[in-house]
Chain A
Amino acid sequence: MDFNYDDNQRMLFDMVDRFLADKHDLAKREKLLKDPAAEAALWSEMAELGLMGAAFPEEVGGFGSSPADAYVVMERFGRHLVTQPYLYTAIIGGRLLIEGLSGDAREAAVAGVIGGESQLALAAGSTTMLRGAEFTSFDAVKDGADWKLSGRMPVVLNGDRATELLVAARTAGSLPDREGVTLFRVPANAAGVSRRSFRTIDMFGAAEVVLDGVAVSADSVVGAVDGAVPLVELALDHGVAAVCGEALGSMEYLIEATAEYTRTRVQYGAPLAKFQVLQHRMADMYIQTQTAKSIALVAAMSLEGDADERMRQTSAAKVQVGRSAKFVGYQAVQLHGGMGVSEELDIGHHYIRLNVINQLFGDGSHHLQRFDALARKAAA
């Protein structure tokens, strides 16, 4: 057993860290958020560095040694509060391309992501924070050899920057049947697609997407017709492992930053770090982070192989990491006092992102219930 990063992962870790160290602090992030051209340029640099390729195995043209490599990248992103859509494009979108396409179509689609030209957004799950394709609010009907897609989704994460939308649409059955949902590739500039952009509370980009009879050909189907639910489920489990990594990077940063702050902030004639109640609070933050880290790493290592085992581990990780992230983020803000709630400090921004991560791809309640269902199935 080994919970440490291997040599390749270590190199990746150092590379991302060096890259972000001079490119991405809070002040630079503020500038990026106001400058789409600069965001696009950063994305290209990330692609040139090879970060997109790390999310893809060699057989499809990438250089990732395992899906756990993406965890390494995301952990560093979490530490540096990166708001770039790596998660949606390379990890979730990428996984859908890997598993749902084949041959030349796959090669071309993956190359577009690795090269930094394509950005992807998964439009699925209606008003959930991307949970389950079965809840989609899009419909698709057969029109000769083509499909026609219609519907509206209020919050499509990375919908603003995506060049291609991966749209889960109901093709048979009815809400919330797991059968009868199909995944389609829809160019974001296709006729009948309209988008209105905004940001979510964590400053990631999003858009309302409206499809009004958008025509796509039969070869734009990703995976099997009517079979999108398990495919999306797999991709979202990769997303779960990735955001667990991101949360860990963020939590470890918050513990360091809070320790540093409490060592220097003096109230009642002593540094805050001298007050035992606050020492214990930070010890609890550490306990929460350590237990979360173990199960998060296990989730990242369980993405390949048996589906039930993958779901069991990712659900356990999502529950524990969500709970830990909320606690650690809350206490980091609390111990920073007023400074913690100010937008001028990165502490509060980490706290916001940790709360969004808790909601993404099914919250604790959803994953507890999925874990429970799998445990019952195993016991039966």
Chain B
Amino acid sequence: MDLSIDDKVQALRAEMQDFFARKLPPEFARKTLAGEKLTKEEHTQWHHILAEKGWHVPLWPKEHGGPGWGPMERFLWEEESGLAGAPRLNHVSQDLLGPVLIAFGTPEQKAELLPRIFSSEDWWCQGFSEPQAGSDLANLQMRAIRDGDDYIVTGTKLWTSYAHVSNKIFCLVRTSTDGPKQAGISFLLVDMEQPGVTVSPIYTLGGMLSVNEVQITDVRVPVTNLVGREGGAWDITKFLLGNERLMGAWIGVNMALARQLRYRLEQPGPDGQPRSADAVLARRVAEAETDLLALRYTTYRVLADEMSGKAPGPEVSVIKCRGGEIMQTLTELLMEVAGSEGMAYPASLPHDGAAIVPFELEHAAQNFFDKRKVTIYGGAAEIQRNIIARRLLNV
């Protein structure tokens, strides 16, 4: 047993901290930490700042222009960027699709598409969930019917994050209805800028816009846009999800939330005393912090096992369950500590003259309600528990 982290890795952590301190625009951090969304232009600006350092494609190997980081370095990146309040990049393109293309793409796909992700020219969104395929992803119905050198694609994708700012979508499509459900699914790249593709926004609690419905009707997609083999999407999907399996812990983001909470606890409340004088509140905050600490070390433990070559087990589901729950608790506490000033509907606040509520509290309630999704998407909390139970009980 040993808690120390290798000197080289420690040095990288210091380098990341130094980079964020010098290069991250304070306005971007302020918005991200307060739960406000950045514009596409701001994201692009951040992308180019990272590109100068070669950190804009953190999961990519060196030969494709990435830093070639191992699991520990990648995890530190998540931790430090979350803690610094760095905006998440165009994550779907860089962290999800990029590694898939590198591992499964044809030479032509790599040559054409990777540079466009690298330069932030393409914004991809992920077309997985459908009206009848939520937790039960294999039940998806979007059809792709082969017609000469094309597929003709028809169907609806739901809860598609950032579709409203994307120009391309990668979809799980049904190319066959024979055999097991999973075996008839293919991974297809679709250009969104063409007739037959319609994006409708879905506003979520608190007036947030990040998810959409994407309807695709009789759209011809060249067969060369297939990633991997026809019917081979299930393995690609597992690979893709595996790439973000420790992400569900949200360690850096949760640590940033906990730090804000500590700060707020020391601000005077309506009675003039610091909020930490409220013993019940102080106790709840300390409990959330100990929960987070335990989760952080669970994540490190899984990481250490992974680096020593042990196959990942259901601990990943443990991490996802707890990461989401802790994030909900922290944002809930931040909303509650803010009192009436944290209860505004952000879009309704007038911005003439002095701010009615402090900037960092403006999104407190919206942020809490928005975080309800983290125990629903990417395999709901119930599904994660099914995975754990199946491994545990061997049934």
Task: Please give the residue numbers on chain A whose beta carbons come within 8 Å of chain B beta carbons, in ascending order.
Answer: 125-132, 134-135, 154-155, 157, 175-176, 196-203, 206, 208, 266-268, 275, 277-278, 330, 333-334, 337-338, 340-344, 348-349, 351-352, 355-356, 359, 363-365, 368-369
Known: A125-B270, A200-B345, A363-B336. A369 touches B373 (CB 8 A): no
Known: A196-B350, A343-B203. A154 touches B136 (CB 8 A): no
What is the CA–CA distance of A274 and B206 in the complex, to the nearest angstrom?
32
* Cβ B349 vs Cβ A368 within 8 A: no
Question: Which B residues from 105 to 137 make CB contacts under 8 A with A?
Answer: 129, 132, 134-136
- For A343, what are the chain B residues with a Cβ–Cβ distance below 8 Å? 202-205, 207
Minimum CB–CB distance from B96 to chain A (whole Å) comes to 19
Known: A129-B340, A348-B205. A155 touches B357 (CB 8 A): yes
What is the CA–CA distance of A364 and B370 in the complex, to the nearest angstrom?
23
| 9 closest cross-chain pairs (CB), A and B | A155-B340, A365-B280, A135-B270, A201-B365, A267-B136, A126-B270, A199-B348, A176-B271, A198-B348
Q: List 8 interface pairs A-B (beta carbons < 8 Å), by A numbering.
A: A129-B340, A132-B270, A196-B350, A333-B372, A338-B376, A341-B370, A364-B280, A365-B281
B89 within 8 A of A: no
What is the CA–CA distance of A278 and B381 in the complex, to the nearest angstrom?
12
By CB atoms of chain A within 10 A, which of B270, B341, B376 has the most? B270
Interface mask (B187-218 → A, CB under 8 Å = 1, otherwise 0): 00000000000000011111100010000000
Known: A127-B270, A154-B357, A334-B375. A344 touches B206 (CB 8 A): no
Closest to A344 in B: B202
Known: A267-B134, A267-B135, A342-B204. A352 touches B356 (CB 8 A): no
* Cβ A359 vs Cβ B336 within 8 A: yes
* Cβ B135 vs Cβ A201 within 8 A: no
- For A342, what are the chain B residues with a Cβ–Cβ distance below 8 Å? 202-205
What is the CA–CA distance of A134 and B269 in the complex, to the nearest angstrom?
13
* Cβ B270 vs Cβ A155 within 8 A: no
B173 within 8 A of A: no
* Cβ B271 vs Cβ A135 within 8 A: yes
Question: Looking at the complex, which one of B211, B340, B370 makes contact with A127 (CB distance below 8 Å)?
Answer: B340
**Given A127-B341, A341-B205, 6 more pairs with CB closer than 8 A:** A176-B271, A196-B350, A199-B344, A330-B372, A338-B211, A343-B207
B70 within 8 A of A: no
* Cβ A352 vs Cβ B135 within 8 A: no
B297 within 8 A of A: no
- For A202, what are the chain B residues with a Cβ–Cβ distance below 8 Å? 343
What is the CA–CA distance of A363 and B369 in the complex, to the nearest angstrom?
18
B167 within 8 A of A: no
* Cβ B339 vs Cβ A127 within 8 A: yes
Closest to A365 in B: B280
- For A126, what are the chain B residues with a Cβ–Cβ distance below 8 Å? 270
* Cβ B345 vs Cβ A201 within 8 A: yes
B382 within 8 A of A: yes
What is the CA–CA distance of A202 and B205 in the complex, to the nearest angstrom?
10
Question: Looking at the complex, which one of A129, A268, A334 makes contact with B343 (CB distance below 8 Å)?
Answer: A129
Minimum CB–CB distance from B339 to chain A (whole Å) comes to 4
B302 within 8 A of A: no
What is the CA–CA distance of A135 and B343 in the complex, to the nearest angstrom?
18
Minimum CB–CB distance from A337 to chain B (whole Å) comes to 5
- For B129, what are the chain A residues with a Cβ–Cβ distance below 8 Å? 338
Known: A128-B270, A196-B356, A278-B382. A338 touches B134 (CB 8 A): yes
What is the CA–CA distance of A311 and B313 in the complex, to the nearest angstrom?
52
What is the CA–CA distance of A197 and B382 in the complex, to the nearest angstrom?
41
- For B376, what are the chain A residues with a Cβ–Cβ distance below 8 Å? 334, 337-338, 340-341
Question: Which B residues from 353 to 383 make CB contacts under 8 A with A?
Answer: 353, 356-357, 365-366, 368-370, 372-373, 375-377, 380-382
* Cβ A175 vs Cβ B203 within 8 A: no
* Cβ B135 vs Cβ A337 within 8 A: yes
* Cβ B344 vs Cβ A201 within 8 A: yes
- For A355, what are the chain B residues with a Cβ–Cβ distance below 8 Å? 335, 365, 368-369
Known: A128-B340, A176-B271, A333-B372. A338 touches B348 (CB 8 A): no
- For B271, what are the chain A residues with a Cβ–Cβ distance below 8 Å? 134-135, 175-176
Closest to B271 in A: A176
Minimum CB–CB distance from B59 to chain A (whole Å) comes to 27
- For B269, what are the chain A residues with a Cβ–Cβ distance below 8 Å? 127
Question: Which B residues from 256 to 304 make CB contacts under 8 A with A?
Answer: 269-272, 278, 280-281, 284
- For A125, what are the chain B residues with a Cβ–Cβ distance below 8 Å? 270, 340
Known: A200-B344, A267-B135. A341 touches B349 (CB 8 A): no
B139 within 8 A of A: yes
By CB atoms of chain A within 10 A, which of B129, B211, B278, B280 has the most? B280
- For B270, what are the chain A residues with a Cβ–Cβ distance below 8 Å? 125-128, 131-132, 135, 176
B159 within 8 A of A: yes
- For A127, what are the chain B residues with a Cβ–Cβ distance below 8 Å? 269-270, 339-341
* Cβ A203 vs Cβ B345 within 8 A: yes
Minimum CB–CB distance from A272 to chain B (whole Å) comes to 9
What is the CA–CA distance of A132 and B353 in the complex, to the nearest angstrom?
29
* Cβ A129 vs Cβ B339 within 8 A: yes
- For A278, what are the chain B residues with a Cβ–Cβ distance below 8 Å? 382
* Cβ B341 vs Cβ A198 within 8 A: no
* Cβ A277 vs Cβ B349 within 8 A: no
Question: Which B residues from 149 to 169 make CB contacts under 8 A with A?
Answer: 158-159
Minimum CB–CB distance from A281 to chain B (whole Å) comes to 9
* Cβ A267 vs Cβ B139 within 8 A: yes
What is the CA–CA distance of A135 and B275 in the complex, to the nearest angstrom?
14
* Cβ B205 vs Cβ A351 within 8 A: yes
Question: Looking at the complex, which one of B139, B356, B365, B375 makes contact with A208 (CB distance below 8 Å)?
Answer: B356
* Cβ B375 vs Cβ A338 within 8 A: no
- For B136, what are the chain A residues with a Cβ–Cβ distance below 8 Å? 267-268
Minimum CB–CB distance from B208 to chain A (whole Å) comes to 9
Question: Looking at the complex, which one of B159, B206, B341, B372 makes contact with A155 (CB distance below 8 Å)?
Answer: B341
- For A131, what are the chain B residues with a Cβ–Cβ distance below 8 Å? 270
What is the CA–CA distance of A225 and B335 in the complex, to the nearest angstrom?
35
Minimum CB–CB distance from B384 to chain A (whole Å) comes to 12
Minimum CB–CB distance from B264 to chain A (whole Å) comes to 12
What is the CA–CA distance of A359 and B343 in the complex, to the nearest angstrom?
10
- For B336, what are the chain A residues with a Cβ–Cβ distance below 8 Å? 359, 363
Closest to B273 in A: A176
Closest to A266 in B: B132
What is the CA–CA distance of A266 and B131 in the complex, to the nearest angstrom?
11
* Cβ B278 vs Cβ A356 within 8 A: no
- For A129, what are the chain B residues with a Cβ–Cβ distance below 8 Å? 339-340, 343
- For A135, what are the chain B residues with a Cβ–Cβ distance below 8 Å? 270-271
What is the CA–CA distance of A334 and B135 in the complex, to the nearest angstrom?
12
- For A201, what are the chain B residues with a Cβ–Cβ distance below 8 Å? 206, 343-345, 365-366, 369
By CB atoms of chain A within 10 A, which of B159, B339, B344, B373 has the most? B339
* Cβ A198 vs Cβ B272 within 8 A: no
